[in-house]
Amino acid sequence: MNQIDIESADLNLLKVFEAIYDEGGAGRAALRLGVTQSAVSAALGRLRALYGDALFTRTGRGLTPSLRARELRPIIGEALDKFRQSLSLVRPGAQGYAGRSVTLGLSDDFEIALGRDVIHALAHSAPGLRVIFRQTHSRLAAEMLMAREVDLVIASGGLTAPALQHVTVGQGGYACLLDPATLAPGQASLTVEEFTRRQHVLVSSGGFIGVVDEVLHGMGLTRRVQASTTHFSALAFLLRDGESLSTLPTHAARGLAEASGLRLLPCPIAMPGYAIEVGWRGDALRDGAVAAVRRCLLELLQDYDWTSV
């Protein structure tokens, strides 16, 4: 294979690669870059020739990256970020964030509870910066950080890789969420008997067993799971007009109750707490935009109430 001379390569193609990868299609990439779709298609042809790979294949949902494109994405992304950092040296302060984006990995319980506050806080502290919320959970967060798929994460543990840094920002708890029409007038709590008698909607990536089942098993009790979902946000619809309840992190239950009119009640069984952490790669804070989002998160979360019902 002939060695490619960087002097003959058009480095603007890297921006096109990043846009196609992130947006999943040539049309959306063109809108992002402010060019025509034909210009993006032509650039993709040159990228394919440069890397000797198809890079993206067309499917019913747009352009899907190849294995080689997945390998290239963190490398190209880091190179472009380094260049953006160099520009921030001559454009210091908040204006240096214009056009920048930082990806925050978090599960939807944290997005429900914190997403709006993060958006508002960044609008004040880093105007022009776009935050991208990307779904993850504690078993994937470290892997996504290491693969540079996200810049920062909020997770309930799992951030133990040597190359990662993290700080604990709180201790989480659990609450129950249900339709208020199924409660007696003035009822402000559930008994253990009522808790186990009702049908439950489980939020779980596996769909069968949750931490509630483990706690109940230790008490010699069981519950009846009527349905399961992988997204906390679905509970706003799944619990309406029915007798079912769901047990979920208090911060998410509080946000869903405020938005949906469902009722938030204390969990009648003693549930274990869990650490809530913000994590990042050791080298990530060299990027001023990532450092700004981390600083904003830590300021926002230092006094956050994770457990009040």
pLDDT in tens, 3-54: 556 667 788 899 999 889 888 889 988 988 889 999 999 999 999 999 999 9
* Choice among 69-83, 122-136, 169-183, 265-279 with the minimum mean pLDDT: 69-83
pLDDT, residue 1, reads 46
Statement to judge: residues 192 and 151 lie in one domain: no
Is residue 95 a part of any domain in this protein? no
pLDDT, residue 91, reads 58
Statement to judge: residues 16 and 161 lie in one domain: no
* pTM given for the model: 0.76
Q: Which domain holds residue 178?
A: 174-272
Q: How far is CA 126 from CA 47, 112, 272, 298, in A?
A: 33, 21, 37, 14
Statement to judge: residues 181 and 263 lie in one domain: yes
Statement to judge: residues 292 and 165 lie in one domain: yes
* Choice among 91-100, 161-170, 230-239 with the minimum mean pLDDT: 91-100
* Choice among 94-108, 124-138, 180-194 with the minimum mean pLDDT: 94-108
Residue range 229-256: mean pLDDT, rounded: 96
- Asked if 175 contacts 252 with a C-beta cutoff of 8 angstroms, the reply is no
Statement to judge: residues 263 and 198 lie in one domain: yes
Is residue 81 a part of any domain in this protein? no
CATH number at residue 57: 1.10.10.10
Supply the angle between the helices 67-90 and 12-23 in degrees, to the nearest 10: 120
Is residue 44 a part of any domain in this protein? yes
Domain total in the chain: 3
Is residue 27 a part of any domain in this protein? yes
Is residue 56 a part of any domain in this protein? yes
Q: Which two tokens stand for residue 204?
A: 């779980």
- Asked if 245 contacts 178 with a C-beta cutoff of 8 angstroms, the reply is yes
State the CB neighbour count (10 A cutoff) for residue 5: 7
- Per-residue pLDDT at 178 exceeds 60: yes
CATH number at residue 209: 3.40.190.10
Q: How far is CA 258 from CA 193, 264, 265, 301, in A?
A: 27, 9, 13, 20
Is residue 55 a part of any domain in this protein? yes
Is residue 285 a part of any domain in this protein? yes
- Per-residue pLDDT at 93 exceeds 60: no
In angstroms, the CA 224 to CA 208 distance is 11
Statement to judge: residues 266 and 178 lie in one domain: yes
- Per-residue pLDDT at 88 exceeds 70: no
Runs of H (alpha helix) within 158-225: 192-197, 211-218
Phi-psi region of 240 (alpha: psi -120 to 50; beta: other; left: phi over 0): beta
